[in-house]
A and B are shown apart, each in its own frame.
Chain A
Amino acid sequence: MRSRGGAKQNEPAASPLAAPVSRRDFLRGLGTTAVSAATVGANAVAAELAQANAEKLRGPQAAPVTLSINGERRTFTLEPRVTLLEAIRLHAGLSGPKEVCDRATCGACTVLLDGVPVYACMMLALEAEGREILTVEGLARGGPTPVQKQLVACDGLQCGFCTPGFVMSLTALLKNKPRPTEAEVRRACAGHLCRCGSYPRVFAAALAASRAPSA
């Protein structure tokens, strides 16, 4: 195949196989009967490929997307370009995760995806199908968790806009590492911004929660 941008004349081909060959040249080389047969065969293969890809093709129109959020399966009608964050906030009506930057630089949209903190603004909603999504609203079923209690006790928050994001990352941290060091806590918070400057008490709250009996 001739390369789209025009062949680079002075560039030697690495091997004969890498030398650009147009479809026309290839089919011409086959001879007329072979071309017909090859064309039919190629079309059949192409048709099969198109068929297989069509099953994975979504949109651009809105289509059903089923998400498991906080243990509940819900189906929404979404364009493929809708982010997981928008799906959660606007369509599922859960306002815990916040939109602050919409480009993976601040952590306010953090949710747990199969237990792992992710930026919901950086996933398409349909990418999260078949996964377990946990937002801050899904945490405190039986009352506030140790992380939440200690954030309140240590005053690890001020305006509160970044707080749900921190809660999710710290929850995942303590699940995977029940007794973290302060350095590990800072590392877990590395994807989060707080403009009010509550960091010192967020760290203190995480360490206090790690020492709490039911952590």
Chain B
Amino acid sequence: MALDGNAIGGLLLEIFGSEMTSAEVTCAACGAVGPVAETTVYVRGPGTVVRCRRCTSVLMVIARVRGLNCVDLSGLTALEAKARPDD
């Protein structure tokens, strides 16, 4: 089932230590830029796969193996967290 980046807000909080759904991600394959919240996310398999909504190429893969998160970010060229004025 395809969801969006909102569904992994907690997981990304765990990995990055801060809110990431509003972080801006740049796709390494097609250059599309947008918030993590709008990526296409597949969560029900052995791991989590985050794909570019525009070109479907893989941006991130997160696999939880024996309690540790293995994170592959090689599908993106930039990931920039945005601070809110009221954070």
* A interacts with B: no
- Which residues of A are at the interface with B, using a C-beta cutoff of 8 A? none
